[in-house]
Structure 1
Amino acid sequence: MATTIEVLPAVGPPALEYLDEKDEKASDTKEHVFNVDSDIGEVCDDRAIDLDADGKEKPIVTAEDWSTRLISLHDDPTLPVWTFRLWFLALGLSAFGAVLGEIFTFRPQTVYVSQLFLQIASFGLGKILEEVIPGPGNKRFKMTDSAFWRFMNPGPFNMQQGEVGILIMAAASTHGALAINIFAADDLFYGFTPNPAIAIFTLLGSQLLGYGLAGMMRSFLVYPTYCVFPNLIPTIQMFDVLFRNQDNVLQRKRIKFFWALFVGIFIWEWIPEYFAPVFTGFSIFCLARQNSPWVTRIFGGAAGSGGSAYGALFQPLSTQLSLFTGVLICILAFTGTYATNSEIAGEVREIIRSSNFFSNQPPTRDGRRYNQTLILNDDFSLNLEKLEVQGLPWFSASYTITKIGTSLSFGATLTHMALWNGKQVWEALKSGQRGDCQDPHYLKMKVYKEVPFWWYGAMFVTWGFFIAVGFAAIFLPVISTLYAILCYVPGTEDIARMLGAGLIPGKPQANMYFTLYAYNSTEQGRSMTRDLKMGQYTKLPPRVTFTMQSLINYVIMKTIVSTHREILTSVQGTNTWSGATVQSFNSDAIAWGALAKQLYSPGSTYGIVPLSIIIGLFVPIPFYVLHRYFPKAHFDSVITPMICSEIGYLSGTFPSLFCTFLLCLFSQYYLRKYHGRWFRKYNFLMSAALDGGTEVMTFVYSFAVGGAGGKTINFPNWALNPVGNPDYCKRLT
């Protein structure tokens, strides 16, 4: 597993431009041998690099296959990048994405401003600006070839300037930093409003820490070939469709294929989402027993699905099989816990019957809402005398199992990384220090000025905060490597809370800020490594990638919190506004920051949760040993951290698991094994079209009739849009 990535997926169409003879010699590496069938810019169906000795399509097996056969190496360093169009669209779409992203944080609907949506929007707007802004490259409004007009409109809207630079900046702004949740929780639950200047610098610091860490570690987290980042491939695929070889016959076929699927899925999604919700989940058992609550509990779930098949066409097969194995264990664990005649199962039944089973605020033992203000002093520290009166919160069994799975996953992640990828990362680290990385995309990037190490170092050192920063620095390589290879993100938020609880006990606010710098910095760093890899794949100058990182809008959060305070602190919320995300964050801060000793110490009710970290360290070892003795049995494809993390997968709403599983098998097994050429050309293009069309439809639906615009317009009830649950299962209260 350290040398090949047998389960990694491939991009849809082939690389649309290839190395010519000069490029081939320039790569100067024996590791990658290219047999070029055509000149740059011409696409051919059959190339020697894709065929085996018998003339058949070779399967995509290793990371080297993926990098050299499926992604274009062509680049034109003369294309202008720093233009008016870049800054205008990047800043405009960043503001748009920041506002929507922050609004959606306080919405009950799960809606995201996705990369694919922003990619399509930036392409359309960029082509419009190409036509309307005067400049030497505009045939309608041609101006003198001066520096000013070259800045305004130097010519055609190109990929580096258009899609990549704008997309990196706009996409970064849509993901709310953890600091926003802290400021909202301070305001809603503690009556404390930080000074705006302090809040903004805190926000900047938590993000710049992660960016700095990622940049300093890019030699072994971004540059090497094994850092694939499978979830980038639909985005890279769309770059090819929108910009490369528009006049080529084969490329035109792929363009038509993409847009046909995109429009088709956009139209189709309106049927199950709005007109006929029965199609979101069909349950034969509920149709047979429509009034049985037990049938609903076991076979229902369409009413709150909110799930999707995202990732089914690009995530590695081993990742998805491990996920489904974990979900199977989750089903057995939840069912067994519920059915067992134990005290905890009885308590779970009582909480299930109460209105707070899925509440994001901790309940009391009898299911009432736990009032955190009754156990805290004026400085928000724990008051033990008040705690004696109020008592401890009581978490449901599903919540506890979820936390156990998270802890097991963290321990398993450390061992898994050391056993399977430790040598690989160590060799890449030494290679990076020597400056002899042989990844073909990295070699192409040497034509551009690199970001000096001290730029990232200054970004990091300026905001260094001791242990929390050390936590992020230690675990960023582990998390980002697994993300790059397996498309799997281990959870470290709870672990950061545990560490903060041990260092600063009895202070929930301090725990939130410790988590901010320990966990959020890691997440920002992981995001930065992905953006750096996108820049390497698309040959975006590194200094552009560095500059395009954007930050969220603090003012939006303050406006929403001040306007909808009562709704955001309520358990139920409304169909328009919900404080569930902030409530959940605050609940964890209370549990770990104020009550860690009482709840999680050895011998306490939930002491198994932190102990599971130690247990998790040993989980990958049996599979590693079995692989050494039985190397052909695929024990190296068992991703134990993911199996553990999915043990609590169903503690929330029920997702579309079965559909995802079938799509995964169809793509990553059937197409890849038996239709290699089609898989190479169209698989990831199909993923981009289906995901992109669905996400654009979701965005339009949410604002048109789904309530995101402030008003919900329900479709009239009929046979395929029944009253109650759309799968005809009995509605539980």
Structure 2
Amino acid sequence: MSENTRQSQSSLPTLEEINDSPIEQVRLTVPVTDDPTMPALTFRTWVLGATTCALLSFLKVFSNYRRNPVSVPYVFIQILALPLGKLMAATLPTRPIRIIGTKWTFSMNPGPFNIKEHVLISIFVWSAGGTLAMLTYTLVKVFYHRRMNMLVVMLLTLTSELVGYGFAGVLMHYLVDSPYMWWPSTLPTVSFFRALHEQQEVRPKGQLTRIQFLFIVFISSFAYYVIPNYFFPSLTALSFICWIWKNSVTAQQLGSGYHGLGLGSFTLDWSSISSFLGSPLEYPPDAIINSLVGFVLVFYVITPITYWTNSYNSKRFPIFSSDIFDDNGQRYNISRVLDKNSFSFDQQGYDNYSHINLSTFYAYGYGLAFASMSATLTHFALFYGRTLWRQLKEAWQGRSRTGGDIHNRLMRSYDPVPQWWFCIILVSTIVLSIFSCSYFKRQLQLPPWGVLLACAMGIFLAIPASVISATTGMFPIPMVVHDLVIGYLYPGRPFAAMVYKDYSHMSMLHADNFLNDFKLGHYMKIPPRSMFFVQVVGTVISSFVNLVTTWWILSSVKNICEPSKLPEGSPWTCVGFNTLFDSSIIWGVLGPGLIFAPHGPYSKMYFFLIIGVLAPAMVWKLSRVFPEKKWIKLINVPIIISATSQMPPTTAVNYLCWGAVGLFFNAVVYRKFKGWWAERNYILSIGLEAGSAISALVLYFALQVKEINGIHWWGLELDDHCPLAHCPTAPGVEVEGCPSFH
């Protein structure tokens, strides 16, 4: 828990809260002025917003299939929208236009293109979220080699996003209006918009304005990314230990940044640093430290000890892998335990084949996921329960003492969104979801009760998860929590498991994203009703574009998601899809009853649930016993426990470099050069990500789409050149390409 957020335990607003925000980072970044007469939801907003929303939807799907997804391609859209908006302001007619058959009029050009229009266009664009529906369609088509009706995918995409939007509306009063819910990830965007629209009257001698600094960083990042993305992809992970001990399995297990513990490995590729964990420049230092503590404990303490003591026969498998294996150390052959006609679990085939086995890291990763769920609930109840209960009572009584900061007072100039608008969206989409699962039962496999349970679980867990996200920038609830529930209740049906996660886990993520956008609008003083219309329309547009783009990519890229069949240097390895496929086998086909049941091979992982309850309670108790020890209150157990929840596809080299860069800028630079940090830090983050994103797109459409993938040499391979890191070390296990141990 951030030191700033500890003030949320106070029942009365402080003087600092009344005059400005109680969060220092917000005070340094967000303006405390507003012009209520400035137009926001204009003709320009609708035209540019709808167009760029469609474009970003395409870019997001495009990026998902690459080895290192481009993390923030939306920055390209934001930059592009500025000159287009100014062009429209300079050329469109200004006279009012009457809508035929009504007395309503509107102007295509209400004046100069302004910051509120620009922010609304961006919120329009950010409504282009992704869902598991596209991933489910890919798994069904590419991995399971089955067909799925496109109408089914469209309904699944649209309803799961709108369910999340309904959740966000219910929670908005508590997670947006409260000044202590400050959403760290919004601050780079605020800084970015201010750099584009606020003119510095006098440029300091020998220094750059914010916009000049932004474009210098952008151009530099654009030019440099040609090297790791095209000429030298191996820069994504440099693992020197592997190069020194080329024939040692143990050395490569220790040194591989992709397939091992990553000791001594690093990257010179910004996308490798920010792709999976987000830009490290956006996170508070205490959140980064908590994450690194969890990473070190899991990756450098638990994993090595359990592997080299051969816990769960771990030496028969790789030390770090998301694959699942049979008893002989080979990749599990799912076709032997799956009935081809009903596409459900074949018990006889399983009995005749093999138990399922996991790598050391993957097995304990599930245990930590169980602990993450219980830790999040416990942490929320102890640290935020009293505050939320007070807010609920105040909301019921029509008064509030927590909304007295300057931003809340400025937002009172605008009409709020009525709660019944959100309720209509929530109820209608749940009904449509139940209809879809009932009518397309054979393809989706999930019964109506599964939809209701998924939505109930989503809203229940969204509350504590979004509170932590709003104060640390990190979302602590892993997908495996939802896997566990549906796997127990409805085993043997892989598609049902994936659809359930779309309505439970993904709806939570969508709610979190929508709340994040509402907080940005709160900081930038955007009328809430304008944001409502923009987000709903953007969701509908993006759902359609996501579907078309997925179909196009799967149809046009030969051997996509099959690295062994792709040409050297091809980025279409779909690294995240392999993890989802294995997860669908574990939870959807086999079910947790065969793996984590009392007599299953990994039944002890359930003890992590108890750890998740006790650890936050201990921290809370210590913070009460030793109130003078401020560092105790900075310990965030859910973040520590869930630190490695994104591994894989996130690897050691991604995590190590992310943490190092984040601490340097948000701890060292923030303390010693606070003025520079306030002016440049978030601009630097935006520029780096925008440059690498646009460079990747230009290279793809100019060269890689024509299968021109660079000069053939050692550095073209998108790997860290540690071929032995994935090898088992148990005697008698034979794996192709690996030495035998006796």
**Which range, TM-score by smaller chain?**
0.7 to 0.9
Equivalent residue runs for 1:616-627 within 5 Å: 616-627=612-623
Question: Does 2:423 match 1:449?
Answer: no
> Residue in 2 aligned with 1:487?
473
Displacement of 1:555 in angstroms is 2.7
CA shift in 2, pair 1:668/1:361, >3 Å: same
> Residue in 1 aligned with 2:5?
5
Stretch moving more, 495-504 or 240-249: 240-249
**Aligned residues of 2:58 and 2:549 also touching (Cα < 8 A):** yes
Displacement of 1:333 in angstroms is 2.4
- Superposed CA offset, 1:517-555 (max 9, x none): 111111111111011111111111112211222232323
CA shift in 2, pair 1:307/1:561, >3 Å: closer
**Aligned residues of 1:227 and 1:485 also touching (Cα < 8 A):** yes
Between the aligned partners of 2:582 and 2:721, the Cα distance in structure 1 is 34
CA shift in 2, pair 1:372/1:222, >3 Å: farther
Between the aligned partners of 1:303 and 1:682, the Cα distance in structure 2 is 25
Between the aligned partners of 1:379 and 1:729, the Cα distance in structure 2 is 41
CA shift in 2, pair 1:417/1:88, >3 Å: same
Classify the secondary structure of the residue corresponding to 2:331: coil
> Residue in 2 aligned with 1:681?
679
Question: Does 2:669 match 1:671?
Answer: yes
Question: Does 2:666 match 1:711?
Answer: no
> Residue in 2 aligned with 1:12?
none
Between the aligned partners of 2:715 and 2:662, the Cα distance in structure 1 is 31
> Residue in 2 aligned with 1:587?
582
Question: Does 2:162 match 1:166?
Answer: no
CA shift in 2, pair 1:425/1:671, >3 Å: farther
Displacement of 1:177 in angstroms is 0.9
**Aligned residues of 1:214 and 1:526 also touching (Cα < 8 A):** yes
> Residue in 2 aligned with 1:423?
386
Between the aligned partners of 2:669 and 2:575, the Cα distance in structure 1 is 41
> Residue in 2 aligned with 1:510?
496
**Aligned residues of 1:188 and 1:569 also touching (Cα < 8 A):** no
Between the aligned partners of 1:694 and 1:583, the Cα distance in structure 2 is 25
Which residue of 593, 597, 600 maps to 2:593? 597
Give the letter for the 1:5 counterpart: T
Between the aligned partners of 2:247 and 2:424, the Cα distance in structure 1 is 64
Between the aligned partners of 1:151 and 1:375, the Cα distance in structure 2 is 61
Displacement of 1:513 in angstroms is 1.9
> Residue in 2 aligned with 1:458?
424
**Aligned residues of 2:242 and 2:721 also touching (Cα < 8 A):** yes
Question: Does 2:283 match 1:315?
Answer: yes
> Residue in 1 aligned with 2:302?
333
Question: Does 2:74 match 1:115?
Answer: yes
Classify the secondary structure of the residue corresponding to 1:655: helix
Give the letter for the 2:140 counterpart: D
- Superposed CA offset, 1:165-204 (max 9, x none): 211222222x321122223333445565444434322322
CA shift in 2, pair 1:209/1:649, >3 Å: closer
Equivalent residue runs for 1:262-341 within 5 Å: 262-271=218-227, 273-274=229-230, 285=241, 289=245, 292-301=248-257, 307-308=272-273, 310-329=278-297, 330-341=299-310
**Aligned residues of 2:34 and 2:525 also touching (Cα < 8 A):** yes
- Superposed CA offset, 1:311-367 (max 9, x none): 33231111111111112111222222332245613312xx57xxxx85756656431
CA shift in 2, pair 1:664/1:189, >3 Å: closer
Which residue of 404, 408, 424 maps to 1:438? 404
> Residue in 2 aligned with 1:641?
638
> Residue in 1 aligned with 2:346?
383
Displacement of 1:682 in angstroms is 3.1
Which residue of 56, 66, 71 maps to 1:97? 56
> Any stretches of 5+ residues in structure 1 without a counterpart?
9-27, 35-48, 50-61, 137-143
Question: Does 2:652 match 1:654?
Answer: yes
Give the letter for the 1:689 counterpart: G
Displacement of 1:710 in angstroms is 4.7
Give the letter for the 1:4 counterpart: N
**Aligned residues of 2:253 and 2:724 also touching (Cα < 8 A):** no
> Residue in 2 aligned with 1:79?
38
Displacement of 1:442 in angstroms is 2.3
**Aligned residues of 1:365 and 1:394 also touching (Cα < 8 A):** no
- Superposed CA offset, 1:88-118 (max 9, x none): 2212112222223223333444234533232
Equivalent residue runs for 1:441-590 within 5 Å: 441-464=407-430, 465-549=451-535, 550=539, 551-552=542-543, 553-561=546-554, 567-568=560-561, 575-578=570-573, 580-590=575-585
**Aligned residues of 1:165 and 1:545 also touching (Cα < 8 A):** yes
CA shift in 2, pair 1:671/1:292, >3 Å: same
**Aligned residues of 1:287 and 1:728 also touching (Cα < 8 A):** yes
Which residue of 200, 205, 220 maps to 2:159? 205
Give the letter for the 2:693 counterpart: E
Displacement of 1:212 in angstroms is 0.6
| TM-score (normalised: structure 1) | 0.82
> Residue in 2 aligned with 1:14?
none
- Superposed CA offset, 1:108-152 (max 9, x none): 442345332322122233233333x3223xxxxxxx455689632
Classify the secondary structure of the residue corresponding to 1:668: helix
Equivalent residue runs for 1:148-159 within 5 Å: 151-159=107-115
Between the aligned partners of 1:726 and 1:186, the Cα distance in structure 2 is 27
Give the letter for the 1:299 counterpart: G
> Residue in 1 aligned with 2:443?
none
Between the aligned partners of 2:608 and 2:178, the Cα distance in structure 1 is 33
**Aligned residues of 1:111 and 1:699 also touching (Cα < 8 A):** no
> Any stretches of 5+ residues in structure 2 without a counterpart?
100-104, 258-264, 431-450, 726-736, 738-742
Give the letter for the 2:367 counterpart: I
- Superposed CA offset, 1:425-447 (max 9, x none): 33333344424322322221222
- Superposed CA offset, 1:217-236 (max 9, x none): 10001111011111111111
Stretch moving more, 446-455 or 79-88: 79-88
CA shift in 2, pair 1:286/1:725, >3 Å: farther
Give the letter for the 1:558 counterpart: W
- Superposed CA offset, 1:53-110 (max 9, x none): xxxxxxxxx8444444531122222222333321222121122222232233334442
**Aligned residues of 1:84 and 1:151 also touching (Cα < 8 A):** yes
Displacement of 1:206 in angstroms is 1.0
CA shift in 2, pair 1:597/1:448, >3 Å: same
What's the C-alpha RMSD, in Å, of the aligned pairs?
Answer: 3.4
- Number of corresponding residues: 667
Between the aligned partners of 2:716 and 2:156, the Cα distance in structure 1 is 47
**Aligned residues of 1:231 and 1:311 also touching (Cα < 8 A):** no
Question: Does 2:311 match 1:345?
Answer: no
Between the aligned partners of 2:28 and 2:311, the Cα distance in structure 1 is 57
**Aligned residues of 1:215 and 1:453 also touching (Cα < 8 A):** yes
Classify the secondary structure of the residue corresponding to 1:448: coil
| TM-score (normalised: structure 2) | 0.81
**Aligned residues of 1:482 and 1:488 also touching (Cα < 8 A):** yes
**Aligned residues of 1:320 and 1:661 also touching (Cα < 8 A):** yes
Displacement of 1:731 in angstroms is 7.1
Question: Does 2:215 match 1:215?
Answer: no
Q: Percent identity?
A: 25
> Residue in 2 aligned with 1:400?
363
